[in-house]
């Protein structure tokens, strides 16, 4: 059962199918189990299904859009952030990043600023450490992807709680 949980496998006993979502491409692999008791045919019956071809996704394109148009509209209920008394904000010094990562981070931050998802705040840290500046000049080759689905920004936060999110 651990394999099914780790891979978000959906088992449909009625139609004798197993669906697995690819973590890299977002495509769904559907495997149909034949009535035979042999496993060999299963390998040849796998089919790839694109997310856009799933009926529910087609019925609600505004819910499953590729890009978020902006902050959600004002609603009767807004998310609030209640802090434990006498706590302070958690502030951490920026950490080192590969040049390619830093470039991608700046691009994504600019997109989020343009859409109004994030606001600029005064940074309490001075100029970056010299080692960080040298690292930014080096020719790095490793790059980790940043998730492009900004689900966090779909939550509307009360106006007075926005400074708590920085």
Instruction: Please name the residue that has the structure tokens 């926005």.
Output: 162
Q: Are residues 112 and 43 in the same domain?
A: no
Q: Are residues 28 and 47 in the same domain?
A: yes
Q: Are residues 14 and 92 in the same domain?
A: no
Determine the pLDDT at residue 48.
Answer: 63
Q: Are residues 75 and 28 in the same domain?
A: no
In our burial notation (b when 16+ CB lie closer than 10 A, e otherwise), range 122-143 reads: eeeeeeeeeeeeebeeeeeeee
The overall longest dimension of the chain from CA atoms, in Å, is: 68
Average pLDDT on 148-161 reads: 60
pLDDT of residue 128 exceeding 60, the answer is yes
Q: Are residues 21 and 50 in the same domain?
A: yes
User: The domain containing residue 86 runs over which residues?
Assistant: 67-166
Q: Are residues 80 and 147 in the same domain?
A: yes
pLDDT of residue 161 exceeding 80, the answer is no
pTM (predicted TM-score): 0.38
The number of folded domains in the chain is 2
Q: Are residues 28 and 12 in the same domain?
A: yes
Determine the pLDDT at residue 107.
Answer: 93
Q: Are residues 145 and 101 in the same domain?
A: yes
Q: Are residues 54 and 96 in the same domain?
A: no
Higher-scoring residue by pLDDT: 61, 36: 61
Determine the pLDDT at residue 104.
Answer: 92
């Amino acid at each position: 059962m651990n394999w099914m949980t780790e891979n978000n496998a959906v088992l449909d006993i009625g139609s004798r199918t197993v669906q697995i979502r690819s973590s890299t491409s977002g495509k769904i692999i559907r495997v149909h189990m034949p009535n035979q008791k042999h496993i060999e045919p299963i390998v040849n019956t796998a089919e790839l299904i694109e997310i856009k071809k799933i009926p529910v996704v087609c019925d609600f394109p505004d819910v499953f859009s590729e890009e978020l148009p902006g902050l959600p509209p004002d609603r009767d209920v807004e998310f609030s952030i209640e802090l434990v008394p006498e706590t302070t904000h958690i502030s951490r010094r920026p950490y080192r990043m590969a040049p390619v990562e830093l470039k991608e981070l700046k691009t994504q931050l600019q997109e989020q600023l343009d859409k109004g998802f994030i606001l600029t705040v005064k940074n309490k840290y001075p100029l970056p450490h010299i080692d960080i500046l040298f690292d930014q000049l080096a020719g790095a080759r490793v790059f980790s992807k940043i998730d492009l689905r900004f689900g966090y920004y779909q939550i509307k936060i009360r106006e007075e709680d926005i400074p708590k999110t920085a």
